[in-house]
Chains A and B, each alone.
Chain A
Amino acid sequence: MTIAKACVVGAGVMGSGIAAQIANAGVPVLLLDIVPKAAPGTTGDRSAIARGAIDKLLKADPAPLMSRAAARLITPGNIEDDLAQLSDVDWIVEAIIERVDLKQDLYRKLEGKRKAGSIVSSNTSTIPLSHLVAGLPDGFARDFCITHFFNPPRYMRLLEVVGGPKTRPEAIQEISAFGDVMLGKAIVHAKDTPGFVANRIGVYWMQAAVTAALDLGLTVEQADAIMGRPIGAPKTGIFGLLDLVGLDLMPHVDKSMAASLPPDDPYVKLRRDWPLLSKMIADGYTGRKGKGGFYRLNTEGGQRIKESIDLTTGTYAPSTTARLESADAAKGGLKALVSHKDKGGQYAWSVLSRLLTYAASLVPQIADNIVELDQAMKTGFNFKRGPFEMIDQMGTAWFAERLRAEKLAVPALLENAAKAGGFYKVDGGRLNYFGPDGAYHPVERAEGVLLLSDIKLSAKPILRNGSASLWDIGDGVACLEFHSKMNALDPDSLALIKQALDHVGKKMKALVIHNEAENFSVGANVGLALFAANVALWPMIDDLIGTGQAAMKAMKYAPFPVVAAPSGMALGGGCETVLHSGAVQAHAETYIGLVEVGVGVVPGWGGCKEMLVRNQPGPKDPKGPMPPVAAAFETISLAKVAKSAAEAKELRFLRATDNITMNRDRLLADAKARALKMLDDGYQPPKPPELRLPGPTGRTGLNLAVHGFALQGKALPHDVVVSDALAEVLSGGKTDFTEVVNEDHVTKLERAAFMKLVKTEGTLARMEHMLTTGKPLRN
Chain B
Amino acid sequence: MSKAVIAGYVRSPFHFAGKGALTRVRPDDLAATVIRGLLEKTGVRPDDIEDLALGCAFPEGEQGLNVARLIGMIVGLPQTVAGATINRFCGSSMQAIHMAAGAIAMGSGQAFICAGIESMTRVPMMGFNPMPNPALAEKAKGAYMSMGETAENVAKKYKISRKEQEEFAVRSHRLATAARQAGKFTDEIIPIPAGKENVTSDGCIREETSMEALAGLKPAFDEKGTVTAGTSSPLTDGASACLVTSEDYAKANGLKVLARVRSSAVVGCAPEIMGIGPVAATERALKRAGLTLKDIDIVELNEAFSSQSIACMRDLKLDLDKTNIDGGAIALGHPLGATGARITGKAAALLKRESKQFALATQCIGGGQGIATVLEAA
Contacts and interface: CB of A to CB of B under 8 A. Distances in A.
Interface in B307-352: none
Contact of B221 (A623, A694, A698, A708): A708
A297 to B, nearest CB: 26
Interface string B131-156: 11110010000001010110010000
A701 B130 contact: yes
A700 B148 contact: no
B26 to A, nearest CB: 15
B223 interface: yes
Nearest to A698: B131
B136 to A, nearest CB: 9
A696 B137 CA distance: 11
A699 B221 contact: no
A331 B222 CA distance: 52
A674 to B, nearest CB: 36
Contacts of B152: 711
Nearest to A712: B223
A622 B64 CA distance: 12
Given A625-B129, A626-B128, A708 B134 contact: no
B329 to A, nearest CB: 21
6 contacts: A626-B131, A627-B129, A697-B134, A699-B134, A711-B222, A712-B220
B127 to A, nearest CB: 9
B223 A694 contact: no
B61 interface: yes
B128 A624 contact: yes
A622 B220 contact: no
Contact of B129 (A626, A696, A700, A704): A626
Contacts of B149: 708, 711
B265 to A, nearest CB: 30
Interface string B152-183: 10000000000000000000000000000000
B129 A624 contact: yes
Interface in B47-106: 61
A698 B131 CA distance: 6
Which of B137, B146, B149 neighbours the largest number of chain A CB atoms within 10 Å of its CB? Answer: B137
Interface of B: 61, 128-134, 137, 144, 146, 148-149, 152, 219-225
Instruction: Give the secondary structure class of B's interface.
Output: loop
Nearest to B219: A712
Q: How large is the interface on A (under 10, 10 to 19, 20 to 34, 35 or more residues)?
A: 10 to 19
A483 B130 CA distance: 45
Given A626-B129, A626-B131, A708-B221, A700 B146 contact: no
A708 B152 CA distance: 12
A713 interface: yes
A708 B125 CA distance: 14
Which of B128, B130, B134, B137 neighbours the largest number of chain A CB atoms within 10 Å of its CB? Answer: B130
B356 to A, nearest CB: 42
Given A708-B149, A712-B223, A700 B128 contact: no
Contacts of B133: 697, 700
Contacts of B223: 711-713
B374 to A, nearest CB: 36
Contacts of B224: 713
B132 A697 contact: yes
Given A626-B129, A704-B137, 14 more contacts: A624-B128, A626-B130, A700-B144, A704-B130, A704-B132, A704-B144, A708-B146, A708-B221, A711-B222, A711-B225, A712-B219, A712-B221, A712-B223, A713-B223
Which of B61, B129, B134, B223 neighbours the largest number of chain A CB atoms within 10 Å of its CB? Answer: B129
Interface in A113-165: none
Contact of B131 (A623, A694, A713): A694
B146 A622 contact: no
A622 B129 CA distance: 9
Contacts of B129: 622, 624-627, 694
Interface string A607-648: 000000000000000111111000000000000000000000
In the complex, the 6 A-B pairs of residues with the closest C-beta atoms, listed nearest first: A713-B223, A624-B129, A622-B128, A626-B129, A697-B131, A700-B134
B132 A708 contact: no
Contacts of A624: 128-129
Contacts of B130: 626, 701, 704
A284 B148 CA distance: 47
Contacts of A701: 130-132
B144 A708 contact: no
A627 B128 contact: yes
A765 B128 CA distance: 36
Contacts of A698: 131
